[in-house]
Chains A and B, each alone.
Chain A
């Protein structure tokens, strides 16, 4: 069982960038989610969560790499795998949703893809 240190026990030169990255990632994901609420219609909304999936997740993963590398005393790069899996899976899901929405609007089961939540 690895010991997970509190952020405060790390050197401030490492804790500070990690904290900033975490806040930035959280803000990006929050703005992306806000987009789901504020944008009109399915086709506009599908763009919003990509923010949290790309740069938002990236910031959190870099922060995680920084802190766990410092805690373990050696480079920890598991997060690169998470990045790889996100890059491979999240666009595929988005494309499936997009194709499904287009199919629905083409077959007339749905008014121009509006409000397909």
Chain B
């Protein structure tokens, strides 16, 4: 992917989606899909002219894999906490993390990663100070959460989107 030519990611994704939904690779499906992708792509750009720039596809795939592993691990962690509520309630709390990531698409991806992982939910982002607030179900070790968000998610996202 060169920097000169921006691949129309949204249109490609929409076309693929159309083909998968219709479960067919017939020529007319390609044509309809292309029409659909161009129309929706055009409307989406009217709504939001700013397009994302994806770089380092390999790193993006590695990040997806990390997120997948973390989601699986967190599922078991949260399950254990829920089954353990007979003995004690978990220590919930908010956690503030100052961010260096500025790209809006990267921030959107980060908030989705955080919320999709059981045990952490995005709770706010201060537009001036760029401090991210999380709500954590099991707030035992704040430094560990901070490290995970900063090193495991924010750093690759900065490289991918900025």
5 tightest Cβ-Cβ pairs between the two chains A and B: A91-B115, A35-B82, A50-B118, A55-B75, A47-B137
Q: Are A40 and B89 in contact (CB under 8 A)?
A: yes
User: SS class of chain A's interface: helix, strand, loop or mixed?
Assistant: helix
Q: Are A78 and B23 in contact (CB under 8 A)?
A: yes
Number of A residues near B (Cβ < 8 Å) is 36
A69 close to B (CB within 8 Å)? no
Q: Are B71 and A48 in contact (CB under 8 A)?
A: no
**A-B contact count, CB below 8 Å?**
99
Number of B residues near A (Cβ < 8 Å) is 31
Chain B residues, Cβ within 8 Å of A3: none
Q: Are B89 and A39 in contact (CB under 8 A)?
A: yes
Chain A residues, Cβ within 8 Å of B23: 76, 78
Chain A residues, Cβ within 8 Å of B78: 32, 35, 47-48, 50-51
Within 8 A of B (CB), among A7-45: 28, 31-32, 34-35, 38-41, 43-44
Within 8 A of A (CB), among B17-69: 17, 20-21, 23
B72 close to A (CB within 8 Å)? yes
User: SS class of chain B's interface: helix, strand, loop or mixed?
Assistant: helix
Give the shortest distance, in Å, between A45 (CB) and chain B (any CB): 10
Nearest residue (CB) in A for B113 is A91
Contacts beyond the supplied A55-B118, A87-B116: 13 A-B pairs with Cβ under 8 Å: A28-B75, A31-B79, A35-B78, A35-B82, A41-B92, A50-B116, A51-B75, A54-B75, A55-B75, A76-B23, A90-B116, A94-B121, A95-B111
Residues on B close to A: CB < 8 A? 17, 20-21, 23, 71-72, 75, 78-79, 81-83, 85-86, 89-90, 92, 111-112, 115-124, 135, 137
Chain A residues, Cβ within 8 Å of B92: 41, 43-44
Give the shortest distance, in Å, between B15 (CB) and chain A (any CB): 13
Residues on A close to B: CB < 8 A? 28, 31-32, 34-35, 38-41, 43-44, 46-48, 50-51, 53-56, 76-78, 80-81, 84, 87-88, 90-92, 94-95, 98-99, 102
> How many angstroms between the C-alpha atoms of A94 and B116 in the bound complex?
9
Chain A residues, Cβ within 8 Å of B81: 35
